[in-house]
């Protein structure tokens, strides 16, 4: 009995499909960040995300499994480049906080604010912050209670970003002065640096 010869796709075709799949996943993730930042976890739907990405909604399930998993990856994406607020870096952090935030930081803050009312979304965001940014920052802080102080630094950062970049506080949006940067640096130093013995 003759067997039908098996045909394999050429290596170039396999590589192209792999690149296409990666590009599609990237487009979906980028769209998810935009949609979750715009609508929040509860109001964002996979159809809206697919429309933003320009893909079939079924591809979200295929590549990411669920909206919850996609949200977790969107959180990782938007929290990817946090400010360094450890001793020796507080002035640079203060300057960054008092200038226009990069789009990714603004989206991360909006995603956080608009999704925090959902208990599961809040748990995902809290878990990511605590196990990544807060833990990493705490490891760089000398002195007692580094984890709690890291949480305080993140809270100050989020508060300044909220007031300046989301609510548009005019005093914080005015031209950044040396005095303002120095005061914020001192506030960050008060938390980041251990008191003199």
Is a pLDDT exceeding 90 seen at residue 102? no
The answer to whether residue 81 sits within a structural domain is: no
- Domain-ending residue, one of 46, 74, 102: 74
Both 113 and 180 in a single domain?
yes
d(CA 22, CA 41): 24
Within 13 Å, how many C-alpha atoms sit on residue 192's CB side? 24
Residue 14 pLDDT: 42
Is a pLDDT exceeding 80 seen at residue 66? yes
What CATH number corresponds to the domain at position 47? 1.10.10.60
Give the chain's mean pLDDT: 88
This model's pTM is above 0.75: yes
Q: Which contacts (CB < 8 Å, 24+ apart) does range 136-143 have? A: 137/82, 137/84, 137/85, 137/86, 140/84, 140/86, 140/87, 141/86, 141/87, 141/192, 142/87, 142/193, 142/194, 143/193, 143/194, 143/195
Both 116 and 51 in a single domain?
no
State percent of the chain over pLDDT 70. 87
Q: Which of 154, 158, 160, 38 is nearest to 99 (CA)?
A: 160
Tally of domains in the chain? 2
Mean pLDDT of the 83-112 span: 85
Mean pLDDT of the 26-46 span: 96
Both 95 and 187 in a single domain?
yes
């Amino acid at each position: 009995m003759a067997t039908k010869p098996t045909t394999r796709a050429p290596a170039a075709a396999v590589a192209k499909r792999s690149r296409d799949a990666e590009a599609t996943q990237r487009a979906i993730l980028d769209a998810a960040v935009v949609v979750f930042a715009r609508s929040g976890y509860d109001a964002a739907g996979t159809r809206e995300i697919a429309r933003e990405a320009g893909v079939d909604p079924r591809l979200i399930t295929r590549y990411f499994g669920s909206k919850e998993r996609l949200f977790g990856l969107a959180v990782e994406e938007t929290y990817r480049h946090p400010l360094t607020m450890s001793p020796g870096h507080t002035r640079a952090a203060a300057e960054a906080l008092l200038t226009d935030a990069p789009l990714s930081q603004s989206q991360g803050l909006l995603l956080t604010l608009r999704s925090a009312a959902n208990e599961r979304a809040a748990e995902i965001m809290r878990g990511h912050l605590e196990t990544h940014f807060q833990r990493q920052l705490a490891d760089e802080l000398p002195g007692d209670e580094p984890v709690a102080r890291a949480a305080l630094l993140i809270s100050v950062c989020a508060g300044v970003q909220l007031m300046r970049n989301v609510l548009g506080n005019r005093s914080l949006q005015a031209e950044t002065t040396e005095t303002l940067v120095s005061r914020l640096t001192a506030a960050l130093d008060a938390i980041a640096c251990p008191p003199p013995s």
